[in-house]
């Protein structure tokens, strides 16, 4: 998107056309008002007949499309949890597997997300692929993965990430960056040397006991395709005792 020249915004302001309709607006006057930013969707459409019987297979197909379309981090997803008071929290995690039983991700069991899931296993996931104008929303219950499954995945991680998992007290306050680097160096020394965080798989270090993973068993899965005039296609699978039911939702 091209940037508006500085004077453009000032001129609009002088004409009394408030450039900021919502919130405080952009920090720089060279940036057009956020309220003016919009894009036209409509590269594709989505009909019920195009969707398979199983939403997890459908998600796999859309993930493959996203990878092929060159989306960055096509398996990145927002994971929403709630704390004991019911206040929501959200962060990005990577989808590491998808299959008939659900969607798998990993992290520290005693992180904020880990503690929240332990107290309330109901979670929501959201994936967005801007190039494809697609979104998938999932609601369901998170179940801890068995240790064997955690161990198998952890074994495939690069050595640097393995050491990082041992070293970082995820979600806890730390005094400064140096303290984190010291924790890393100490963990690296413990496992026989400093590692580089390359892309090479399988660093030969086992998973820390406080590190784990979850599988989200979905109760609803919505496939969203952007369309013109905001008349987007929304098709949602809902789990019933007789299998999945597909409903179309208004955009």
Ligand X SMILES: Cc1cc2nc3c(=O)[nH]c(=O)nc-3n(C[C@H](O)[C@H](O)[C@H](O)COP(=O)(O)O)c2cc1C
Residues that bind ligand X (CB under 6 A): 73, 76, 89, 91-94, 105-107, 111-113, 170-171
Q: How far is the CB of 194 from ligand X (least distance, A)?
A: 23
Catalytic hit among 230, 238, 242, 245: 230
Which residue number, 106 or 129, has a Cβ lying nearer to ligand X?
106
Residues 143 and 123: beta-carbon distance below 8 Å: no
Q: How far is the CB of 76 from ligand X (least distance, A)?
A: 4
Question: What residues does 4 pair with on adjacent strands?
Answer: none
**Residue of minimal CB distance from ligand X?**
107
Question: What residues does 135 pair with on adjacent strands?
Answer: 128, 224
Which of 146, 91, 140, 165 lies closest to 244, judged by CA?
140
Count CB atoms within 10 A of the CB of residue 166.
Answer: 19
Q: How far is the CB of 211 from ligand X (least distance, A)?
A: 9
Which residue number, 10 or 69, has a Cβ lying nearer to ligand X?
69
Residues 73 and 66: beta-carbon distance below 8 Å: no
Which residue number, 173 or 193, has a Cβ lying nearer to ligand X?
173
Query: Residue 72 corresponds to which tokens in the numbers above?
Result: 């960055």
Q: For residue 156, what is the DSSP state?
A: T
**Residue 230 annotated as catalytic:** yes
Catalytic residues, by residue number, are 230
């Amino acid at each position: 998107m091209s940037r508006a020249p500085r004077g453009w915004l000032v001129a609009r302001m002088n004409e009394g056309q408030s450039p900021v309709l919502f919130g405080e607006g952009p920090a720089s006057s060279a940036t057009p008002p956020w309220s003016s930013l919009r894009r036209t969707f409509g590269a594709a459409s989505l009909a019920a007949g195009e969707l398979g019987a199983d939403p997890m297979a459908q998600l796999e197909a859309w993930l493959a499309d996203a990878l092929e379309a060159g989306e960055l981090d096509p398996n990145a997803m927002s994971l929403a949890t709630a704390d004991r008071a019911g206040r929501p929290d959200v962060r990005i995690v990577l989808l590491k597997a998808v299959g008939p039983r659900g969607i798998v991700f990993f992290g520290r069991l005693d992180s904020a997300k880990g503690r929240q899931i332990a107290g309330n296993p109901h979670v929501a996931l959201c994936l967005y692929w801007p190039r494809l104008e697609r979104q998938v929303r999932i609601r369901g219950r998170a179940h801890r993965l068995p240790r064997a499954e955690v161990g198998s995945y952890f074994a495939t991680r690069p050595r640097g990430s393995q050491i990082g998992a041992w070293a970082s007290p995820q979600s806890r306050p730390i005094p400064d960056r140096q303290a984190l680097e010291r924790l890393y160096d100490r963990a690296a020394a413990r496992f026989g040397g400093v590692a580089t965080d390359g892309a090479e798989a399988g660093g030969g270090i086992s998973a820390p006991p406080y590190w784990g993973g979850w599988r989200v068993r979905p109760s609803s899965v919505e496939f969203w395709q952007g369309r013109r005039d905001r008349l987007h296609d929304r098709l949602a699978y809902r789990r019933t005792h007789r299998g999945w039911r597909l409903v179309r939702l208004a955009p």
